[in-house]
Structure 1
Amino acid sequence: MLTPRLSVLDLVPVRSGQSSGDAVAASVALAQVADRLGFTRYWFAEHHNMPAVASTTPPVLIAATAARTERIRVGSGGVMLPNHAPLVVAEQFAALEALAPERIDLGIGRAPGSDPVITQLLRISGPTADVDRFPDHVADILSLLSPDGATLRLTSGREYPIQATPAATSVPELWLLGSSDYSARLAAELGLPYVFANHFSGEGLERALELYRSEYRPSERHPTPQTILTLNAVVSDTADEAEQLALPQLRSMARLRLNRPMRPLETVDEALAAPRDSDADEVIARMRPRWVIADADAAASAVRTLAERHGVDEVMIAPVAGARADEPADAASGRALTLELLAARLAA
């Protein structure tokens, strides 16, 4: 038992010299490590057209990972719902639940997960892509996934039954993701568990959690509020080594925030050899306090303190350690070490 409960958020990072197939293989192997160590869940994020991110299709990655793990819950963190028709999402996750009963999570968000051009390509399906209808589409998915399904009333007045899958015996657990008041309030209104995306934006954390808890309406499946906080983390045997392993991801995030062209993640060697960049250094200095980059004892203490301070049920680690140039392309030893060291220190 890990205290607090720990989970993993994975964007399937792609580094220089690595194919997308290598990156996926490394992430599936990492999920197996998390499964063995007692982590609660392993989620894949949805991002598109990014050279350093291979998690474009969470349902495909979830299926592959569920087949190669035994106990851990596997899910999305999240499916960006405005990019997809609700019925398609419901059918995909109903099928996943049939493949791995009681192990599937459906985390839903409303951000695009890419730039405006790609967002337009993803949303050419018309009214299903209306962000303003996000609450209705979440409610639709809840109904479609239920064993009884949903009922559509046709213009003729006839009722038309719809089910995501026939003869369902269990349903995925649905979570709402966000980094703003909007998602916190909607999760509270619908009686759903809530994930605050602290790994991307730590602004407004306390207010979002307070709104969610104070406005929470108990539901049959979730009589009390349930919260997860995400966290970027790099843990190694020494603090200096952790700082080096964190540098590729920090530099990549700085490029994103500065609207610079994105590219595959640098190796640690490439990042250390790169010339200094004052603009990037300034962005990194602002991000760095929200990340845990430390040796095992300090990292475990920081994770425990964060969970206690905000009263969250679970901390979802985004293990963002980079790789050395001589590491195998289909492995992620730094990310695995982060999980192993945290689990060893937080085992009750």
Structure 2
Amino acid sequence: MNNRTSGLTPRLSVLDLVPVRAGQTSAQAIGASLALAGLADRLGYTRYWFAEHHNMAAVAASTPPVMIAAAAARTERIRVGSGGVMLPNHAPLVVAEQFAALEALAPGRIDLGLGRAPGSDPVVTSLLRATGPTADVDRFPQHVSDILALMGPEGARLRLVTGDVYDVRATPAADSTPTVWLLGSSDYSARLAAELGLPYVFANHFSGQGIDQVLALYRDGYRPSEAHPEPRTFLTLNAVVAPTADEADERALPQLRQMARLRTGRALGPLETVEEALAAPADGLAQAVEGMRSRWLIGDPEHAAAELRRLADRHGVEEVMVVPVAGSRADEPLDATPGRARTLELLAAALG
């Protein structure tokens, strides 16, 4: 089954890494992202997810559950969730209880996206695990199953070394449960999601390679579950949309240069402003920048809408999750993110 969309206009969602630009505090960046979540809610976007990254000057998204709670309190209808919680950093019971609490706060609106990567370097990963044993990569499948059981109405049943049985349930117990998604940039999580009958998202905004093969693997190997009788997936995509193509190109440059630094092992700092990025020397980043530019959605509204529909149809998805990566100009407010807000507004209007 390929779930072709047959040219239908896809639904729109958002993935937010809470970017921090030069001169901006993390607190200001968080405030700007929460305002953006409110805008996405008003514009009719389907879901708004927060990523988990650690110890990065340009990213303030380190605690998805906290951001989800804040966004849920500021929105009315949009689904809010994690894209994702990096499970190797956390004990499954902690994750299950956090998202059970979120579901109790915003019933029917919570998504729990789970990732297998640590989302940081080995030093920070060791610090995240310093208070006791948590999940590890090799036990990822078991811990996904544990979380599903802990959040379910029956809970999980443990057999102690004494032979006694001990029942555990995530509390508070909500009347509904979050939707669990598996995330990945390789075929590992796709295979596991298919085996468990779970929704799956390929991190196309980060990897950009192999999406056709991975989605085919997921769909062809899918085992229907009670909660999800059909495979569910969508496309993720870095996006910068502006009134003109020239402005979109300029606003894309700070994030393109940042990602080029990451991929070439350069030192990372806060995101450059548009002016700083335009004035900066190439620094050997030009080839990496151009290689990524072709895989991002950058342009005016007409171009962006046509390209988004084409991609959705090609990959057989009915939803596209954009990562709004438009940079800010030096004279724009530090507690707002006008370029990213404009991307969401123009996309929503163009897809109508």
* TM-score computed with the length of structure 1 as normaliser: 0.97
2:192 pairs with 186, 191, 201, which one? 186
1:316 pairs with 321, 337, 351, which one? 321
1:298 match: 303
The SS at the match of 2:182 is strand
1:4 match: 10
Q: Distance in 2 between matches of 1:292 and 1:229?
A: 12
Deviations 1:24-74 (A, max 9, x none): 000000001100111000000000000000000000000000000000000
Contact kept? 1:147, 1:168, Cα under 8 Å: no
Identify the range of structure 1 (124-133 vs 305-314) with the bigger mean alpha-carbon deviation: 124-133
2:83 match: 77
Contact kept? 2:237, 2:297, Cα under 8 Å: yes
1:48 match: 54
Q: Distance in 1 between matches of 2:296 and 2:131?
A: 38
The SS at the match of 2:108 is coil
Q: Distance in 2 between matches of 1:145 and 1:125?
A: 23
1:163 match: 169
Q: Distance in 1 between matches of 2:131 and 2:211?
A: 34
* TM-score computed with the length of structure 2 as normaliser: 0.96
Deviations 1:171-212 (A, max 9, x none): 000000001110100000000001010000011111100000
The SS at the match of 1:324 is coil
Q: Distance in 2 between matches of 1:289 and 1:179?
A: 19
2:225 pairs with 216, 219, 222, which one? 219
CA RMSD of aligned residues (A): 1.1
The SS at the match of 1:143 is helix
Contact kept? 2:92, 2:135, Cα under 8 Å: no
2:3 match: none
Matched, 1:35 2:44: no
1:270 pairs with 268, 271, 276, which one? 276
Give 2:336's aligned amino acid: A
1:286 match: 291
1:339 pairs with 311, 332, 344, which one? 344
The SS at the match of 2:56 is coil
**Identity over aligned pairs, percent:** 73
Deviations 1:242-268 (A, max 9, x none): 000000000100111111111000010
2:106 pairs with 90, 97, 100, which one? 100
1:109 pairs with 102, 109, 115, which one? 115
Q: Distance in 1 between matches of 2:116 and 2:216?
A: 21
> CA distance change for structure 1 residues 166 and 243 in 2, over 3 Å: closer, same or farther?
closer
The count of residues paired between Structure 1 and Structure 2 equals: 345
Identify the range of structure 1 (46-55 vs 106-115) with the bigger mean alpha-carbon deviation: 106-115
1:233 pairs with 224, 234, 239, which one? 239
1:248 pairs with 254, 264, 267, which one? 254
Identify the range of structure 1 (242-251 vs 121-130) with the bigger mean alpha-carbon deviation: 121-130
The SS at the match of 2:237 is strand
Q: CA deviation at 1:340?
A: 0.6
2:4 match: none
Deviations 1:260-305 (A, max 9, x none): 111000010111111222x211111111111011000000111111
Matched, 1:15 2:21: yes
Give 2:254's aligned amino acid: P
The SS at the match of 2:343 is helix
1:147 match: 153
1:58 pairs with 42, 51, 64, which one? 64
Q: Distance in 2 between matches of 1:52 and 1:273?
A: 19
**Structure 1: segments with no counterpart, 5+ residues:** none
Q: Distance in 2 between matches of 1:261 and 1:276?
A: 15
Contact kept? 1:322, 1:335, Cα under 8 Å: yes
Q: CA deviation at 1:167?
A: 4.0
Identify the range of structure 1 (283-292 vs 76-85) with the bigger mean alpha-carbon deviation: 283-292
Give 2:330's aligned amino acid: A
Q: Distance in 2 between matches of 1:118 and 1:10?
A: 21
1:136 match: 142
Contact kept? 2:100, 2:172, Cα under 8 Å: no
Contact kept? 2:38, 2:75, Cα under 8 Å: yes
**Structure 2: segments with no counterpart, 5+ residues:** 1-7
Q: Distance in 2 between matches of 1:123 and 1:207?
A: 34
The SS at the match of 1:107 is strand
